[in-house]
Chain A
């Protein structure tokens, strides 16, 4: 049953990647949806599957941007290699931050991730030679996708780049589905549910949290790298605390504990922000109301809302489902 469900999620993600170009004018905006969807997937792995509220996701996002920016502007490294490097840097940074943060739980864990977010921000700010400081790293190129000198695909136009990002997004989505459904992923769920018991039945809780952190950092850094390539700039704002906050908000709006919910959350936030910001410069206030509504009435986010609507349209089969589960 779980297998079927995860296939369904992959199909939904594929549909989103296919539908976005059909109903949107701007290739950049569509790409932005998928890029933030990646970052939110990373955050969801921590928040939804492991129960870790990390305010440090911007660190990994920003480091991804900088890594790709530096490697592509100064070293002319092949683009796929630069992306791999960004992923590795993200994983290592997350392992580093996680190594300290998971020593504490609850409020102190959150404070530690926040402290690291501030630290990395000022680190980036105070190293202008490397990061461009306040201005950010400018003129990040978007070289064509080539393997061993043979050009496979130009990424010059927004929709070409979208295609590349969409393929990467689907691969990552599939990998994360495998991970969350694996023995490892199910153990993360147990840790989220009851950490003390998880340790008492034999799991090294710290190692699991650390691994979740590293995976999350890797995915988030990939998102940051894509954004730098798309906009041609690795700005200081991408490592700012605000980025962490934005990723978290998208995660909560979409719903936690379900990977496709993250895609919903990112799409909703990015598209809503794009639309509202043309209507009203204070649109962030509306977002505040929305967050209050989500926190009060729909803690499972947009996905939970959709699930509820779906069930209410077919109430009788739903009841049948639960009894079947009890009997199993």
Chain B
């Protein structure tokens, strides 16, 4: 929180001078009497990989939900790219350039891989989506974006397969691919590697790092190898609060972080 602003300042790399792309102030989320987020401040700078880590129940996914609009914040403000999006629904924030993937795979399981990606690409163009007359062919098929996303995710040969018939690892890649197909400014990935086999992990790591060239990446991840290797900034959460924020090496050596969460994982680096 505010007490750690000093660390946050030094943490952001080359882009320290840039304006944050996303700025959350005092975000509180209550579910009835339970308070999941106790006033979170977060600044995400463009073209960085910003990871959010913390033990289970720390409020990472809830924070994601409030930032992307899946849930509305109870209090606080969220400014994205100069627009106050605090009260905008998820589908409105997509139009601003926010896209996300889900921790629990959430696809259009009866539809093909290509159709999943086409729908994601079309979602950003809200007026065209109400076209009751033309089938999604030609320019309306968004073939370029769809093909690029499939290629990047290694799904090209599975284009015609129903999403529900893919293996778990393929579904996880399609999850990320759908976020990509929206060509977002900021891409929110909620545990993209969850349940993935060891073989796929490295590939996913390179993929996420590669995203930084064109996007801003916000990442929830449990795999410390990945987090420490590819993050520019890491925010550690505990019990609905920001415990500390900084560069990977700062986080690695922070006593509070070690005590609260990482323990020997940080040196062991186990998946």
Contact = CB atoms under 8 A, between A and B. Distances in A.
Q: Do A and B come from one complex?
A: yes
Interface of A: 2-3, 178-179, 181-187, 189-190, 193-194, 196-205, 207-208, 211, 325-328
Nearest to A325: B160
Contacts of B120: 201-202
A202 B131 contact: no
B131 A184 contact: yes
B161 A183 contact: no
B182 A202 contact: yes
Contacts of B102: 197, 200
Nearest to A192: B110
Contacts of A211: 130, 132
B133 A182 contact: yes
Given A187-B129, A193-B108, A326-B160, A200 B68 contact: yes
9 contacts: A179-B133, A182-B131, A187-B129, A190-B108, A196-B106, A199-B90, A200-B68, A204-B89, A207-B130
B90 A200 contact: yes
Given A2-B135, A199-B89, A200-B68, A183 B129 contact: yes
B219 to A, nearest CB: 17
B159 A328 contact: yes
Interface in B88-143: 89-91, 94-95, 99-100, 102, 106-111, 115, 119-120, 122-124, 126, 128-136, 140
A201 B132 contact: no
Contacts of A182: 131-136
B135 A198 contact: no
Contacts of B130: 183-184, 207-208, 211
Contacts of A2: 135
A203 B115 CA distance: 15
A196 B108 CA distance: 10
A322 B173 CA distance: 23
B262 interface: no
A178 B106 contact: no
Contacts of A200: 68, 70, 90-91, 94, 100, 102, 106
A203 B182 CA distance: 12
Contact of B128 (A183, A194, A207): A183
Query: Interface majority SS on A: helix, strand, loop or mixed?
Result: helix
Contacts of B53: none
A61 to B, nearest CB: 23
Interface residues of B, number: 40
Contact of B111 (A193, A205, A326, A328): A193
A194 B107 contact: yes
A179 B115 contact: no
B257 interface: no
Interface in B150-198: 157-161, 178, 182
Listed residue (B89, B91, B99, B157) with the most chain A CB atoms within 10 angstroms of its CB: B91
A266 B98 CA distance: 45
Interface in B48-91: 68, 70, 89-91
Nearest to A194: B108
Contact of B134 (A183, A203, A328): A183
Nearest to B68: A200
A179 B132 contact: yes
- CB-CB nearest 10 A-B residue pairs: A202-B123, A202-B94, A201-B123, A193-B108, A328-B160, A183-B131, A325-B160, A184-B132, A201-B120, A197-B106
A187 B122 contact: yes
Nearest to B128: A183
A199 B161 contact: no
Contacts of B106: 194, 196-197, 200
A183 B122 contact: yes
Given A182-B131, A183-B140, A190-B111, A204 B160 contact: no
Contacts of B107: 194, 197
Given A197-B102, A197-B108, A201-B182, 9 more contacts: A183-B130, A196-B106, A200-B70, A200-B94, A201-B119, A202-B95, A202-B120, A325-B161, A326-B158
Contacts of A198: 108, 119, 123
B98 to A, nearest CB: 9
B160 to A, nearest CB: 4
B154 to A, nearest CB: 16
A183 B108 CA distance: 15
A178 B94 CA distance: 28
A194 B109 contact: yes
